[in-house]
Amino acid sequence: MPWSPSHHYVHVAIPKTGTTSLVRALHTLHEREGGSVELINDQITPEYRREHGLDALGDPQPGRAKHLSALQLRTILGDEEFDRCYRFTVVRNPWERMVSRYNFTHVRNEPSPAEKLARGTTRSFHDLEFDQWLDQVAQRSLRGKGPRSQLSKLIDDHGHLLVDHVGRLTDLQATVDGLCEHLAVPPVSVLQVNPSPRSKPYADYYDERTRQIVAEIHRVDIEHFGFTFDELVAT
């Protein structure tokens, strides 16, 4: 969760929505304008959760401060600082985001032989085809252990939106431009950093069955943000 104590803004960072690229642009901004952008804490440990009352929110995630929810941030920063901050986020088309998650977790994060030995397994962590992996995600969702909606990271217990701006990954530059306008500083450019590799357009990973799986898992985001499967088919 990038937060600027000097310029009073906070980015509610949803996983796989261009956070690394956006944070790089924020560092460029502060190299020019002074001040800083930082994480509240490197890791959200059990001790840190107890200290800041996060357990009372009923949300066991995340372990990394990079992806705190808006409600968690308000609890940590306090109402006065949170309300003072310009709060923004970026959301992503769920069908594209699931392909990004698949490639990142099953290709980019292949454990080393030593790590596999320590875990007592020889399994290849990226040996599943996309449809097989998605079926596993769907099964976890049926048990209440599936991916959380992007919207859930942005609202309070009453469903009220806690951010001032919701941008799209397809136009990350517009989100950064909006922040710069709010701060009354010249804009900075956003460069793509740390993209998950894929060998074909995201739409080519899907058939009708798997399209519907994602539509059901991410129904809340699709309805709230108006995502459609075909909106990015040319990318």
User: Do residues 108 and 179 both lie within one domain?
Assistant: no
User: Do residues 109 and 59 both lie within one domain?
Assistant: no
pLDDT along the chain (235 residues), means of 10: 92 91 93 89 76 73 72 91 96 95 70 62 65 91 84 93 96 96 95 73 95 96 95 66
Res 109: pLDDT: 58
Res 150: pLDDT: 95
Res 65: pLDDT: 67
User: Do residues 144 and 117 both lie within one domain?
Assistant: yes
User: Do residues 191 and 86 both lie within one domain?
Assistant: yes
User: Do residues 17 and 99 both lie within one domain?
Assistant: no
- What is the tally of structural domains in the chain? 2
- Concatenate the DSSP letters of all residues of 79-144 into one string: HHHHHHSEEEEEE--HHHHHHHHHHIIIIITPPPHHHHHHHT----TT-S-HHHHHHHHHHHHHTT
Residue 111 near residue 26, CB atoms below 8 Å? no
pTM score, whole prediction: 0.85
Closest CA to 235 of 202, 205, 204: 202
User: Do residues 1 and 76 both lie within one domain?
Assistant: yes
Number of residues assigned to the chain: 235
User: Do residues 141 and 225 both lie within one domain?
Assistant: yes
Res 53: pLDDT: 80
Res 44: pLDDT: 76
Domain that holds residue 136: 94-148+199-235
User: Do residues 2 and 113 both lie within one domain?
Assistant: no
CA distances from 50 to 65, 66, 75, 156, 193 (A): 15, 18, 12, 20, 34
User: Do residues 40 and 86 both lie within one domain?
Assistant: yes
User: Do residues 214 and 139 both lie within one domain?
Assistant: yes
Q: In the structure encoding, which two tokens stand for residue 67, read together?
A: 């992806």
Res 157: pLDDT: 87
Res 99: pLDDT: 93
User: Do residues 50 and 136 both lie within one domain?
Assistant: no
